[in-house]
Structure formats: C-alpha cells, structure tokens
Amino acid sequence: MKKMSIYSRRLPPTASTEPEPSSPLSMKNMRTRWQSIRNTPFIFFIAGILLSSTLFFGWSTFSQKPKLLTQDIIDEAVLKTLNTKELPSKATKAAQIIMPSVVMVRAFKIESDEKKKKDSKKNPKEDGALGTGVVVMEDGTILTNYHVIAGSDRVEVIFYDGTKANAKVVAVHPHNDLAILKPEKLPDDLLPATLGSSAQLKYGEDVVAVGFPFGIGPSVTAGVVSGLRREFTGENGAQLRNLIQFDAAINQGNSGGPLINAAGELVGIVTALLNPSSTEKTFIGIGFAITIESAGSAVGIPPF
C-alpha cells in the first residue's frame, strides 16, 4: 500500500506563482540602491585622491622654512632704493630739523629827535645791529652773540613762523661773546634745538650754518669742520678760545646763529669770520663758532 506524502513539494492550487511586484519608490528599494552606490569602489578612489591632495598641500605649506634676512638681501634693497629714489642731502635733512628753532635778532638804539628826522627814510634794518639766534630751551631761552646786542636799548626777535616779540637781555658773557635773551611772547609751536656735542666732531665732518646774512633768510650754507680748538680775537677785543673752525659760508647777520652737525644737532654758535680787510667783512672761507659746551655753561645747561 502506497504511503501518502504529508508535505507536498508543489504549491497549493490557491497560491500565486508570480513574484510580488515591488514599488520603485519604496524605502526598501532606496536603501538597497544607496548601499549599492556607497559600496562602489569608484567612490573610495575619489575620496582617496582628495585626502592625498589635502595631506600633500598641508605638508608642503608647513614644511617650508621662512626665508632668512641676510646682509646681502639688505644691501641689495638699500642699493635699489639709492638707484631708484631721489633722497634729500644731509644738509637738507639737518636744516629741516634746526629751522624751527632759528630766530632773527634785531637790536635798536634810542636816537635823538634830530637824527630820527635825518634818518626817517632809512631802511629799518639799518637802525641797529642784525644777527641770528637759536632757541635752546622750551621756555624760549635764546642764545646769540654779545656783539649783536651790545649797546642796544631794545631787542626784537622774529620766530620761524613770523611771530615778532620784544626780548629781554637776561645775561651777557662778553668774554666768550654770548648773550641770553628771553622773549616776551612765544609761538604756540615753539621747538627748541636738540643739543649735540662738539667733542665728537672730527676734521672733515659735515656741518651746516643757518642764519640771516645781510638780513636775507633764513639762509642755509653747508661745509665741513676745517679745524678744532682754534683761537680768535672778537670784535670787543675778547680772546676767544676752543673754537670750531669751518668753511660753510657766513656773512654779517649770521652772528649768533646755529652750527649743526649732519644729524641736525646744535654743536656751536657762529661768532666770527676771518677777514684780512678791516673795511669789508665778507666771507673768504674761514668761520668760527663757539662750542655748544661753552655756550651751554653760559645758559646754565650742564656739560654733556
């Protein structure tokens, strides 16, 4: 007798043999497709290239050492500047520094009524002595030559900005041809000179003189130190010693003005010019200046 199978390998007649249709927009399908793309070797290849590029550029950036600044590089830059740009001269730079501290000094004498009438048509510059001064302190203290203001009854100073003021003679030192003035009025932007040291001067060193020769100025002349520790007899007969000899052109009106070094520092007060002629005092190549140390001690400034 044949046994009946309990389980049939065939589907029951009521079961469908066709596969269940799948929806293309189903979440199951989307996840399956994304997993397929994500696991694609091409994606890993692109990611590897990007990562390698990032690492390479990062390494090349941080591995470069900064360029060292050598003397050759500095010299090359300086030489290029000198060849391509027009630089101001030493005299120009020095004069620009001292100019705001330079003043014109005019000294007047009281005249009789008869002389006033006679000279009424005279140029005011001829009424008295004319010279130069330099502001050496913030309170307006001015240094000039004694022979500029000697015998005067009134002294007037004209500052760089055009401000005019009467000045009082507070001290005189005839033995070294120096006088100290204090103006009654000061400009708002008064700038005193920077004091240097004559002890550092050497033969042939550049110097600049600023003043009002013949009332023209301020005028600038340049030269060199042509001698040190010179002696000269001043206009009042005083024997001046330890003078700076220089060849920057000066004339009447320069007396009392500043002599400065290339840095614009005050190293002397112009006091005299050497001239064999007793009638015409014009410059022939030799001028003298009192050292700033001697001038400073007269004002009360301690030596340097």
Domain residue spans in the chain?
94-299
Topology adopted by domain 94-299: Thrombin, subunit H (2.40.10)
User: Pick the residue with more confidence: 16 or 242?
Assistant: 242
> What is the predicted pLDDT for the residue at 60?
60
Q: CA-CA distances (angstroms) from residue 82 to 76, 78, 85, 88, 165?
A: 10, 6, 6, 11, 44
Amino acid at site 242: N
User: Pick the residue with more confidence: 254 or 299?
Assistant: 254
Highest-pLDDT range among 47-61, 85-99, 240-254: 240-254
Mean pLDDT along residues 89-105: 95
Mean pLDDT along residues 116-128: 53
Catalytic residue among 177, 219, 226, 247: 177
Catalytic residue among 101, 198, 219, 255: 255
User: Pick the residue with more confidence: 169 or 127?
Assistant: 169
Percentage, residues of the chain above pLDDT 90: 50
pTM of the model: 0.69
Mean pLDDT along residues 138-146: 94
Ranking 88-97, 114-123, 244-253 by mean pLDDT, the lowest is 114-123
**Is 255 assigned a catalytic role?**
yes
Q: Rounded distance, CA 176 to CA 233, Å?
A: 10
List the one residue out of 236, 297, 298, 247 whose CA is nearest residue 273.
247
Query: What's the whole-number average pLDDT of the chain?
Result: 80
Dihedral sign for Cα 212, 100, 148, 226, please: negative
pLDDT at 32 over 80: no
> What is the predicted pLDDT for the residue at 126?
46
**Is 177 assigned a catalytic role?**
yes
Asked whether 240 and 231 are in contact (CB, 8 A), the reply is yes
Q: Rounded distance, CA 157 to CA 162, Å?
A: 10
Q: What angle do CA 91, 282, 175 make, to 5 degrees?
A: 85
Catalytic residue among 147, 152, 206, 247: 147
